[in-house]
Structure 1
Amino acid sequence: MKGSKVILNGKTLSIQDVNNVARNGALVEITEEAMRTVEASRALVYELANSDTPVYGFNRGVGLNKDREVVAKYYEEYNRNLIYAHCVAVEPEASEEDVRAILLARLNTLLLGCTGIQPAIVTMYKDMLNYRIHPVIPERGSIGEGDIACLSHIGLAMIGEGEVHYNGIRMTAKEALERASLKPIVLGPKDGLAIVSSNALAAGPGALVLKDIQDLIETADIIYALTLEGYRGNVTPLDPKAYEVRPLPGQAYSSQMVRAYLEGSYLWLPGVTDSLQDPLCLRGSCHLHGSVRDALDYVKKYMNIQLNSSDDNPCVLLDEKRIISCSNYEVTSLALGFEMIGIALSHLSRNSCHRTIKLGNARFTGLSRFLTPSDARVIAYGTIQKTFTSLDTEIRHLSNPATADYFSLAGDIEDHANNTPYVVKKTSKIVDNLRYILGIEAMHAAQAIDLRKATKLGKGTKAAYEVIREEIPFLDKDRNLSIDIKKAYNIIKSQELLERVREAISE
């Protein structure tokens, strides 16, 4: 993807675009029409700022200081001080890929012309992405009503202060700008507020998390299908007729994919299983996975709105030559969506844990206890249950809602918040824990398939099994399983398993 370009106009940025720029190094380009909109909006800012009309963040202060006048000769000083005063965030620092997502999310919303920012700053966002100048952004300190405490560090870098990563090397912003032959920004009216006040800290990384969840749920379907083969599960719950009489879109899609992964599997042969009904963790997996898909569709809808709409206050209405006070930085819908998907993922996690426990239970599988190749000599997976259940416990606590916890701040005038950056961050942690949990399930499924001597696997599950066995051999004797667990995690995180299975079923 390196060398490709994403064209920005403020209206069509996708979650996939964010992934391509943040993780794959795609360059960005701004349409001429969008830059003309930015320039016209800036001209209106000066027109109003030089009038007697009080404008928040322009010729008046911000927050509780909205009653303080800012005269023209102090515009640069005031906006620089605004950047300094808002640099209050604390570690850990955002990763470089998250910083790229943040820069991109804010740049795209600026192109709508609702901000009134000077065009040179818009160009600076683009140059930071294309020259790989990534401001060091402490990621804790935002309550979600505009990520002012964290995004201020971008402004610090733009005026040549603070630190950045330039092509992967940490240095002062001043040095990085000089190396790239870029000039520090001289701030004017509204510039400081426009830089610090947006929801990009949640929107950029949040888009990456949604991309990860989309890949993760597809991977979960694959591993569930593999588990069915290791378990010798009953496939009647996959019958498409069941989903026609209850047409919930997510579960219907998951069942369709699982059937595709199991195409050609021994499980479809008559008389394979003597189980009339399997445990719920196997019988209802498509339904649970479908709930995650349905939740994901909801959040993607609001993320696409967030990435392509103004979250500025005040809002410049260019066509009407007005600037109005508003609450467009309010992203509670997005926060609630991420909370919902966190809870949905906790169900998926618990279900995966139960499937893995069942695979180690001889009473359910008819195989050896803990999938040992030798009851007398090899302990096998007798202890590993502690690991994946402890990770599930973390997920259960991370799925607890946090968006409703807030104070009344700024002299009691800011009395609502949504904590969306934190909600996004904890959802990201849930996803990462699930990579381990699903990886451990995949290890068990492959071991069960080998013990069962099942050779007639599905088109997709055969590819998944081969990926696992290329990295993790059959457990014929006890060994350091932490190494195997990390390998399984890497197989999932790298998307090697997902890509190989996609390739197999497309053939």
Structure 2
Amino acid sequence: MNSHKVFLGKSPLRASDVSAIARDRAELVLDETAVARIRASRALVERFAAESRPVYGLNTGLGASVDTPLSAADMIDFQRRVTHSHSVALGPMLPTDAVRALMVSRISGMAAGGAGVSETVVRGLVAALNAGLHPQIPSWGSIGAADLAPLAHMAKALRGDGMAEIGGKVMPAASALLLAGLEPLDIREKDGHALVVANSLSTGTACLCAEDTKNALDWSLAAVALNYEAFRATTTALDADALAARPAFGQQEIGARLREELKGSGLWQPGAARRLQDPLSYRCVPQVWGALLHALNEATLATEIELTHSGDNPVILPDRDKIVSHGNFDMTAFVLSWERLGQALAHAAAATASRTMKLMSASVSDLPRFLSAKGQHQAGFAVVQKPIAALEAEIRHLANPISLSPMAVSDGIEDQSSMAPRVVAKTAEIVERFRYLVAIELMAAATAVELRGVVDQLGEGPRKSYEAIRILSAPLDEDREVSSDITRIAAVVSLPRP
């Protein structure tokens, strides 16, 4: 087990904490503040149950069956049936990091104190997570009005039914629990409903995607700077006074980051630029990447609101001595932020593709066509233009919105929803493709600075990027298969930039 621990309770989790737990196997620890909130909300649920006070999901059916009261004798059995009746997810299984992120997100929501769940259930989730026991959860089937189906598959497996993975092996969940030395979850009043009534798939995977987007953004700025060097772009696009004259979201920060990246570059010398004004894909980087940075910050904030608060319906409010039915599970604000991030990435992808193509155009860059070092009897980067065009087109397609409400369900009662998990999933698909575009730009720009003969004039950031690329990909002196090179670079682009 990773010796790093992440404590939950007094301090709320951040998206980076979820990533550390989900991917780096940091241990999650509930502190006493979290435990106190869980106990207080559970005490209120038990009192309402003892007093037979009507509470949705405690002593009533779910969805359209809210009009169906449950007898005291049926309350616990009903909760145990919830985990099975709601296990209707379909399609490919979620990857392990997504399952772990989902589990962290649900634990975090429960620790906020609004779920009213039994302490033993929360501790069981934490124990399974830290033991590396991962329920097999199909990825399709949630419309984003709580990720009911994926969470039900999680809960069902932790009760010993279904399949789970542990130690890299998939086996019956009961066997996995036995191997981990864990007891199946003991479901009591309201526990089944509390396990499923959250947007934990959407929130957990959004935490991972936010980290991935940050890494891709950082590397894309490195690619921009190296391309500036290769193209001999004018640095006036980064002028601080010009950017302050109309301080659109994020552009001043991006301008400052690129000026720092290009510190020591020959581009700052008078007459270094080839043009008075460059094409917009060069000139408008602060504006386009500023919008991307702003969209990422907003999506991360929206995600951390969901991660650290209770979207449970009903919400348990022990400090107010009440349990309230409401609509806080609705993810409209969240999905609009994530749709915006996908569209911002699409703008950056279009600019990345355009700049890379321009490097290969002799009439625009004054470099050999297709960056072929030995003339046109060698292909150089000519055929790489096809995956560039394909990736950019797919990104534009994925950036189209899906979050407008799907059809009504539950006998028309649930007539609005956000498609939150699919919005996050398609944004993650955009980021994956964007990484490859960034990798190609880095590789092409590294070749271009060699052909331009300016390697000894590179700024501090571009020199670091150039040297990193040359470790992963040798100069393209002769035609060869370059897919492997691009893939290696894209794998590095998925990591934090040193």
> Shorter-chain-normalised TM-score: which range?
over 0.9
Q: 1:34-183 maps to which residues of 2 (within 5 A)?
A: 34-183=34-183
Asked if the contact 2:164–2:171 (Cα under 8 Å) also holds between the matched residues in 1, the reply is yes
User: How big is the shift at 1:55?
Assistant: 1.2
Can you list the C-alpha shifts for 1:280-321, whole angstroms capped at 9, x where unaligned?
A: 111111211111011112112211211111010011111122
Distance 2:263 2:34 in 1: 49
Deviation at 1:60, TM superposition (A): 0.9
Distance (Å, rounded) in 2 between the aligned partners of 1:50 and 1:262: 68
Structure 2 residue aligned with 1:217:
217
Equivalent residues in 2 for 1:290-369, closer than 5 Å: 290-369=290-369
User: What one-letter code is carried by the residue in structure 2 that aligns with 1:309?
Assistant: H
Distance in 1, Cα, partners of 2:234 & 2:401: 36
Alpha-carbon deviations, 1:165-211, whole Å to 9, x = none?
11222112111211222111221111111011100000001011111
Matched AA of 2:476: L
Aligned match of 2:4: 4
Partner of 2:437: 437
Q: What is the rounded CA distance, in whole Å, between the counterparts of 2:448 and 2:7 in structure 1?
A: 49
Question: What is the deviation of 1:450?
Answer: 0.6
1:489 counterpart letter in structure 2: A
Amino acid at match of 1:401: P
- 376 and 69 in structure 1: CA distance in 2 versus 1, 3 angstrom threshold: closer
Is 1:469 matched with 2:470?
Answer: yes
Query: How far apart in 1 are the matches of 2:320 and 2:258?
Result: 53
Contact 1:114 1:310 in 2 (8 A): yes
Matched residues in 2 for 1:97 and 1:277: separation?
45
Amino acid at match of 2:436: Y
Q: Distance in 1 between matches of 2:276 and 2:103?
A: 55
C-alpha distance after superposition, 1:103-137 (max 9, x if no partner): 11110110122111111110011101111111111
Distance (Å, rounded) in 1 between the aligned partners of 2:179 and 2:483: 44
Is residue 384 from structure 1 mapped to residue 384 from structure 2 by the alignment? Answer: yes
Match of 1:269 in 2: 269
Matched, 1:486 2:487: yes
Q: Does the CA-based 8 Å contact 1:10-1:110 persist in structure 2?
A: no
- Greater mean deviation of Cα atoms: 211-220 or 193-202: 211-220
The answer for the alignment partner of 1:242 in structure 2 is 242
Shift of 1:37: 2.1
- What SS does structure 1 have at the residue aligned with 2:170? strand
Quote how far apart the aligned CAs of 1:36 are.
Answer: 2.2
- Per-residue CA deviation, residues 352-384 of structure 1 (Å, 9 max, x unaligned), is 010011000111111111111111431111111
Q: Report if the CA contact (8 A) 1:10-1:111 is conserved.
A: no
Tell me the secondary structure at the aligned position of residue 29 of structure 2.
Answer: strand
Contact 1:164 1:170 (C-alpha < 8 Å) held by counterparts: yes
Among the aligned pairs, what percent are the same residue? 35
Trace 1:184-199 onto structure 2 (pairs within 5 A): 184-199=184-199
**Distance in 2 between residues matched to 1:347 and 1:90, nearest whole Å:** 32
- Aligned equivalents of 2:115, 2:232: Cα separation in 1: 60
Aligned length: 497
Which stretches in structure 1 are left out of the alignment for 5+ residues? 500-507
Deviation at residue 10 of structure 1 after TM alignment? 7.2
CA distance, structure 1, for counterparts of residue 299 and residue 477 of structure 2: 44
1:421: Cα distance to partner? 0.2
SS at match of 1:384: helix
Offset, 1:244:
2.1
Q: Find the aligned partners of 1:24 and 1:440 in 2 and give their Cα distance.
A: 28
Local SS of the residue matching 1:380 = coil
Q: Distance in 2 between matches of 1:306 and 1:360?
A: 45
What is the distance in 2 between the residues matched to 1:242 and 1:299?
28
Letter matched to residue 132 of structure 2: R
| Cα displacement (A) at 1:11 | 5.5
Task: State the superposition RMSD in angstroms.
Answer: 1.3
* CA distance in structure 2 between the aligned counterparts of 1:121 and 1:104, rounded to whole angstroms: 13
TM-score (normalizing by structure 1): 0.96
Q: Distance in 1 between matches of 2:166 and 2:440?
A: 38
Could you tell me how far apart the structure 2 residues matched to 1:247 and 1:447 are?
Answer: 35
Tell me the distance in 1 between the aligned counterparts of 2:158 and 2:273: 65
Distance 1:478 1:335, change over 3 A: same
**2:439 maps to amino acid:** G
Between 54-63 and 247-256, the greater mean CA deviation after superposition: 247-256
CA distance in 2, matches of 1:102, 1:10: 21
Task: Provide the rounded CA distance (Å) in 2 between the counterparts of 1:210 and 1:470.
Answer: 28
Contact conserved, 2:10 with 2:31, CA < 8 A, in 1? no
1:503 is matched with none
TM-score (norm 2): 0.97
Separation of aligned partners in 1, 2:118 and 2:184: 13
Deviations 1:421-478 (A, max 9, x none): 0000000000000011111111110110010111211111101000101111111111
Following TM superposition, where does structure 1 have runs of at least 4 consecutive aligned residues deviating by more than 6 angstroms? none
CA distance in 2, matches of 1:446, 1:290: 25
More off after superposition, 388-397 vs 182-191: 182-191
Structure 2 CA distance, aligned partners of 1:36 and 1:30? 10
Paired position in structure 2 for 1:457: 458
For residue 441 of structure 1, what is the amino acid of its counterpart? E
CA contact (8 A) 1:121 1:185 kept: yes
Stretches of structure 2 lacking an aligned partner (at least 5 in a row):
none
